[in-house]
Amino acid sequence: MRVCMVVNSIKTEGDHYTTTLLAQKLHNRKHDVFYIGVEDLSYYPEGCVGGRAVQADPKTYRTTSSYLEAVKSNFSKKQKITTADIDILFLRNDPAEEDKSRAWARVAGISFGQMAIEDGVIVLNDAYGLSRALNKMYFQQFPKEVRPETLISRNKMEINDFFLENGENIILKPLFGSGGKSVFQVNKDNVKNLNQMIEAISSDGYVVAQEYLSESEKGDTRVYLMNGNMMLHKGKYAALQRVNPSGDIRSNLHVGGTAQPAVITDEIVQIASIVRPYLIRDGIFFAGLDIIGSKLIEINVFSPGGFYSACRLENTDFTELIIQSLQHKVYLKSVYQGKLTNNILAIL
């Protein structure tokens, strides 16, 4: 199996990234794994997608850090590949991670991914489905029963009214963003700064205002779904509890949150089942759900992180499930000889 990982930038990939873990496991199982940063994607005159890719040397790597070091050490040895050279194009770049200087990169993975689908390559997650999920407006498509009360606006008066209607305790965050950036809690103690918070967020777009969930003081639970289902392997769920650092409302691991084993409740299972139909509709092969109590607060369909920690905490290699599913998709594509759309293959 030949898999190409599309990332924001090879140079900024980390040892414990989900992409790194999956790529290392694939490589050690003798699959061909390529890395391409969005800046190295190309559409060639002969009518196909490709780019300048990097591979690790063909040997077994004991750790993700040694594997990633090998990938980066070969950065100067980029090789031209096209869709004819791969079976799967895995879109792992996060548009929200791109700053204003690289605004062109935000939709690059999606745009080239759509063309790769036309070339007959399996693209995960489905590039057309991802185009619907470019910002948190996608989240509002899910049933209201699983979402916090939410307002999306740039109007200070409307946001202030929402603040008063929700017990003078709300969360503000950008419509286009991820990783806990520019996320604020507004309550009676700091309401005097509400306008400044709105201005800070709205300088880059719309503001998302959500009701404050008291259970958030304990952090949130990230649950991973594959092919629309919660990942269950050897009796364990791929999930983790992300606990907030002291004095911070954010539980994201890269801003100081800590990972602990998750407790899978009936509410979490119910939320996953409600979200499932839309993920199937959009060909979302791999997704991360962030849940507080009985509410879904975020859904990451671009590059769900924390998977390394979930494997470690549960002492279970959940990448086995992903690799088996990827192999199954390649098999189905070959036996159906182009009769299955990418959207369908993505969630089978």
What tens digit of pLDDT does each residue of 53-112 get?
Answer: 999 999 999 999 999 999 999 998 999 999 999 999 999 999 988 888 898 999 999 999
Q: What tokens were used for 74?
A: 């070969």
Give the CA distances from residue 323 to residues 14, 23, 31, 42, 122, in Å, rounded to whole numbers and listed in that order: 21, 10, 10, 27, 14
Residue 32, H or E segment: strand 32-37
pLDDT in tens, 107-155: 999 999 999 999 999 999 999 999 999 888 898 999 999 999 999 999 9
pLDDT 10s digits, 179-207: 567 799 999 999 999 999 999 999 888 99
Confidence of residue 253 (pLDDT cuts 50, 70, 90): low
pLDDT for the residue 149:
94
Q: Where do the DSSP E strands lie in 126-265?
A: 150-153, 169-174, 184-187, 207-211, 220-226, 229-230, 232-233, 236-237, 239-243, 258-260
- Extract the tokens encoding 232: 């269950």
Furthest CA-CA distance within the chain: 63
CA distance 57 to 8: 22
Provide the H-helix boundaries in 221-282: 266-281
Candidate from 4-8, 131-135, 165-169 with smallest mean pLDDT: 131-135
Q: What is the pLDDT of residue 96?
A: 87
User: What is the pTM (predicted TM-score) of this model?
Assistant: 0.91
What the chain holds in terms of domains, given with CATH numbers, is 2-124 (3.40.50.20), 149-212 (3.30.1490.20), 215-316 (3.30.470.20)
The Cα 92–Cα 285 span in angstroms is 12
Spatial contact of 244 and 257, defined as CB atoms under 8 Å apart: yes
| Angle ∠(1,283,340) on CA atoms, nearest 5 | 65
Residue 293: how many CB atoms within 10 A of its CB?
17
pLDDT, the chain, mean: 93
* Confidence tier at 170 by pLDDT (50, 70, 90): very high
